[in-house]
Amino acid sequence: MPQSASVTNAPFHGESPSSESAPEVCVKIANFNAWYDSFQAIHDLSLDILRNQVTAFIGPSGCGKSTLLRWVNRMNDIVPTAQCTGSLRINDVEVLSPSTDVVHLRRQVGMVFQKPNPFPKSIYENVAFAPRLHLKLRRGELDELVEWALRKAAVWDEVKDRLNAPAFGLSGGQQQRLCIARAIAIGPELLLMDEPCSALDPASTLAIEDLIYELREQYTIVMVTHNMQQASRCSDQTAFFFEGRLIESGATDDVFTKPQQKRTDDYVRGRFG
């Protein structure tokens, strides 16, 4: 029977493997199936996501890309009809186990959504909120962490003189970079991005793409995108989904220039989708 979404607290003991050998597997998905009530959104998916690389999920709307992201950080726990079977492991820890500490899991797995969603707080408090809640930091240390995260998200120079101003006063692109700063401030290992540029103008999109390229040196990034040019520019690995199934995955250059499956070739060439 499928496993219903549930939350039970227990330690999340993820050990980061040595960086001497590369690439290593950060997320290992095996025989994974997912449903919303009687609708099966993902069919028998097996996929390795490599550490410190950007993996792009591509495919038409409704093919299971965002559903998979929601299971990686257990967001579907709050969806009563969501169920799954199979295995989804981060650093050899079974994410789907009822004993997994979901709060700690979400500290390891940051999430950036399609539309910027800053808190109704100041710029400073958006970034400081989670570290203040989970980390024991003195004010000076918290200030340093906020600055570090904003610098890492390439928005510090634009906001450093108005940290106490409302976050909603920022432009869309600045808000999205603020949300990235908020996501990395708590120290995740894995960063999930669900169409992070779809609501942004071209200049802001370019800034986010440059940021993604830089962040992969420190984080493993999974990005859902409908923009084929963006996937080819930003990602190291690409996985193509169609009707809830993984059709093909591999190095981005290979998927885009010499795909092994006709459906992949048709999709990346714009013949459908």
The mean pLDDT of the chain is 90
Angle at 206 between CA 203 and CA 208, to 5 degrees: 110
Angstrom distance (rounded) from CA 184 to CA 211: 12
Cα(40)–Cα(21) distance, integer angstroms: 37
Amino acid at site 53: Q
For tokens 């979400």, the residue is 106
pLDDT of residue 8: 35
Looking at residue 20, its pLDDT comes to: 53
- With CA atoms as reference, report the closest residue to 199 among 221, 217, 179, 214: 179
Q: Which residues neighbour 181 within 8 Å (Cβ) at sequence distance 6 or greater?
A: 126, 127, 149, 150, 152, 153, 155
pLDDT on residue 13:
36
Q: In this structure, what are the phi and psi dihedrals at residue 192, rounded to the nearest 5 degrees?
A: -100, 130
SS3 of 251, please?
Answer: strand
In order of their start, the domains of the chain are 33-268 (3.40.50.300)
Handedness of CA 187, 48, 105, 224 (dihedral sign): positive
What would the pLDDT profile of 18-52 be if each residue is shown by its tens digit?
445 557 999 999 999 999 999 999 999 999 999 99
- In which band, very low, low, confident or very high, does the pLDDT at 135 lie, cut at 50, 70 and 90? confident
Alpha helices in the chain, H assignment, sequence order: 65-72, 102-108, 123-134, 139-152, 156-159, 172-184, 202-215, 228-234, 252-257, 262-268
149 pLDDT above the threshold of 50: yes
85 in helix, strand or coil?
A: strand
* Paired strand residues for 110: 191
Contact, 90 vs 67, CB < 8 A? no
Q: How far is CA 161 from the centre of its chain?
A: 29
User: What is the rounded CA–CA span in Å between residue 273 and residue 10?
Assistant: 42
Q: Does 14 score more than 70 pLDDT?
A: no
